[in-house]
Amino acid sequence: MARISIYDSTLRDGAQAQGISYSVEDKLKIVERLDALGVGYIEAGNPGSNPKDLEFFARAATLRLANARIIAFGATRKVGIDAGEDANLRSLLKAGTSAIAIFGKSWDYQVQEILRTTLDENLAMIGDTIRHLKRHGKEVVFDAEHFFDGYKANAEYALKTLAAAVDAGADTICLCDTNGGSFPHEVFDLTSVVCQRFPRVAVGIHCHNDSDMAVANSIRAVQAGATQVQGTINGLGERCGNANLCSIIPNLQLKLGLECIPDEAMRHLTSVARSVSEIANMLPNDKAPYVGSHAFAHKGGMHIDAVVKNPISYEHVNPDQVGNTRRVLMSEVAGRSTLMARINAIDASIGKESPETVRIVDKLKELEHEGYQFEAAESSFELVVRKMLGRYTPFFELVEFKVIVSEPCINEVNSSVIIKVRVGDQEVLTVAEGDGPVNALDRAARKALERLYPAIGEIRLTDYKVRVLDSDKASAAKVRVLVESTDGRESWTTIGVSTDIINASWQALVDAMEYKLMRDQETLRDAR
């Protein structure tokens, strides 16, 4: 297969997304995951921009990476100075990476109005910078910033900037759709022009997603001859984000037969996507192609029936190929086949007409009538089925809890919870405070149980939703609480229903903890 070099910018362009601030430890964790995934380059930031990046490059130099090369990123030399005197270039060399990415202007407007210099001086800046880095033995990637807009405005000059980079010894020239406004046919046509004009140098593509075209544009560039694709995990990036490598990699490799990462690494794509979201402290995009929790979720009865018979009826790839899982959603439109698929995943010996199935169906109807909605809380449904089949033993039992709410709030604490739980023959009593009764209850439960079950400390609540089910009863209304949790490897959602919001929350929190403990127990048993 033809080889496409994957160039990841999650640590640099991804860090420019609103709400993201990586620590050095965060960046090192992401490097490890990207290296294991098999990407070729990890663009890690500008070592001259802040002390945190300086520390990162120093520590990254000690890493033993199997697949990826760390690449430092910076600008061409400043206007009117010698490359050897440029502080930014000195920082890039000091970072000690074997490869460096340099961005320079390819749009005449940007040169004259933003840099406030001449077109010739910009060409000199590009050439001088790259020659300086090549004299120090560096591999150089030249990012032609605003290339597509620049070509449309002044094709001759945009190509001159590439020629200046190539003549100076650039190893790769990367075409940047910096404003994210180009269309796939434009990217294909202009990439074809560049590949024909500069046949002896690698051509890359770097797309932003402002027109929701970044993935399509990247793929069209590859079809036009580009051999390097830049992007980020989950499409993280400034404004609307960058090209999403979690879509680009499987599209190129599984659909077009182009080698991007090792085949065995493709099965870790979903876990990498979720771990990066966790490290970045961002909610995963459930609807993301390939790696989202909804990507292989089936709800309609006809769809589910067809998928059970043959998954290709409604799945364009096997979810196992990208490390994702097929999900058959529980709902009023799902049908009996849906229920059987979930039951048989727990006990394959049970049939459609067995007494166990009848009892589970009746229980499901009863719970749905009470307000439970298992389409969005499959983990709680699995626990219900396991309990009814006698295939589950609770890890702990609530004896009682008491909630005290005090106002006004002092130092973001207005609630206290006293909780007593029983684990086997042992009773544990503890107290915790929190910002609201649910937060206090969550903290108290963790405090009581983490000593006996350390894995509970891995759980992080990522979402909490409350829905009033019968608003006509005003403050006595029944509520549904959905809690989404993650341990950094997988996510799950649990449910509670009650006229008491704290009790409903407790039900969901208990299921979240018990589901985690059950999954860990099964993983350990399978490993044996």
pLDDT tens per residue across span 57-71: 999 999 999 999 999
Contact 150, 112 (CB under 8 A): no
pLDDT of residue 252: 98
Least confident of 139-148, 214-223, 286-295, 464-473: 464-473
Q: Between 493 and 204, whose confidence is greater?
A: 204
pLDDT band for 337, please (50, 70, 90 cuts).
low
Interatomic CA distance for residues 210 and 470, integer angstroms: 42
pLDDT of residue 202: 98
pLDDT band for 367, please (50, 70, 90 cuts).
confident
Question: Chain-wide mean pLDDT for the chain?
Answer: 91
**The two three-digit tokens of residue 399, written as one number:** 């004896």
Q: What are phi and psi of 288, to 5 degrees?
A: -65, 135
pLDDT of residue 306: 78
Phi/psi region, residue 239 (left: phi>0; alpha: psi -120 to 50; beta: rest), is: left
DSSP state of 498: E
H or E stretch at 178: none
- Residue type at 64? R
User: Average pLDDT in the 415-442 region?
Assistant: 94
Tell me which range, 93-97, 124-128, 491-495, is most confidently predicted by mean pLDDT: 124-128
Phi/psi region, residue 323 (left: phi>0; alpha: psi -120 to 50; beta: rest), is: left
User: What DSSP line would sit under 465-478, residue for residue?
Assistant: EEEES-GGGGGG--
Contact 509, 483 (CB under 8 A): yes
Whether the per-residue pLDDT at 357 is higher than 90: the answer is no
pLDDT tens per residue across span 198-254: 999 999 999 999 999 999 999 999 999 999 999 999 999 999 999 999 999 999 999
Whether the per-residue pLDDT at 376 is higher than 70: the answer is no
pLDDT of residue 333: 46
Interatomic CA distance for residues 336 and 332, integer angstroms: 10
Handedness of CA 439, 440, 441, 443 (dihedral sign): positive
pLDDT of residue 475: 66
C-alpha distances (whole Å) from 330 to each of 74, 190, 343, 373, 374 are 51, 48, 11, 8, 6
pTM of the predicted protein model: 0.74
pLDDT tens per residue across span 247-300: 999 999 999 999 999 999 999 999 999 999 988 988 789 899 999 988 988 776
Q: What are phi and psi of 244, to 5 degrees?
A: -85, 110
Specify burial of residue 499 (Cβ count, 10 A radius: 0-12, 13-18, 19+): middle
Whether the per-residue pLDDT at 332 is higher than 50: the answer is no
Q: What are phi and psi of 123, to 5 degrees?
A: -60, -40
User: Average pLDDT in the 393-409 region?
Assistant: 91
pLDDT of residue 379: 87
H or E stretch at 491: strand 491-498
pLDDT band for 339, please (50, 70, 90 cuts).
confident
Domains by residue range for the chain, with CATH: 5-279 (3.20.20.70), 297-370 (no CATH), 397-527 (3.30.160.270)
pLDDT band for 304, please (50, 70, 90 cuts).
low
pLDDT of residue 270: 95
User: Under 8 Å CB-to-CB from 114, ≥6 apart: which residues?
Assistant: 105
Sheet holding 479-486, edge to edge: 460-468, 479-486, 491-498
pLDDT of residue 362: 83
